[in-house]
Amino acid sequence: MLDELPESEPFMPFRRWLDEAWQGEPNAHAMTLATTTSEGRPSARAVLLKGLDDRGFVFYTNLESRKSRELLTNPHAALCFMWKSLNRQVRVEGPVELVSDEEADAYFASRPHHSQIGAWASDQSQPLPSRAELERRVEEFARRFPEGAVPRPPHWSGFRVVPVSIEFWQERPFRLHDRLLFVREGTEWRRERLFP
């Protein structure tokens, strides 16, 4: 329950909830990422949390993808983690920044070789004439980088959502849910309960 979140900042309780979610959900690090087009039309998709510290929540992607184009046009996003096994949800909102080249290089180097090849082969979000074309491109880059270190593609990096608000939601009977909102005020966080 939210009474068990005594912290004055949101990152420690988030890490604790994420650790608990891993016990029952194989994709506990999956989060819905919401962005908007330049016209203000929303779009959402699931991505994977790949980094977390007191600066924010990090995911990686092709910089030419639809989500990247939207974030580069309007650098603000919302995240939603939903852990049904725990009847919990966490919502995050804030501006977005690119991770450093060093962070992107380090994460890319940690990926399996086939995933590294896939990052080179895929023109993410672009029209694909056939599955055979994708497979041909995978084979082409597998020949180009047969083994060993694969350099990070210039069109591949990560984004960090820098939270200005983080809301914890715990399901309770009769829709009388618990909600606790952390709002960043300078370097401090303000806590407040919300009606369900």
Reported residue count of the chain is 196
- The DSSP result for 79-135, as a single string, is EEEEEGGGTEEEEEEEEEEEPPHHHHHHHHHHS-HHHHHHHHH--TTS--S-HHHHH
User: Of 69, 175, 179, 193, which is the active-site residue?
Assistant: 175
What does DSSP say about strands 30-36 and 42-48: parallel, antiparallel, or unpaired?
antiparallel
Written as one letter, the residue type at 169 is: W
Neighbours of 175 (CB within 10 A): 7
- 171 and 87 Cβ atoms separated by less than 8 Å: yes
Q: Look at phi and psi of residue 87 and say left if phi exceeds 0, alpha if psi is from -120 to 50, else beta.
A: left
175 an active-site residue?
yes
Alpha carbon distance 121, 142 (integer Å):
9
Report the catalytic residues.
Answer: 175
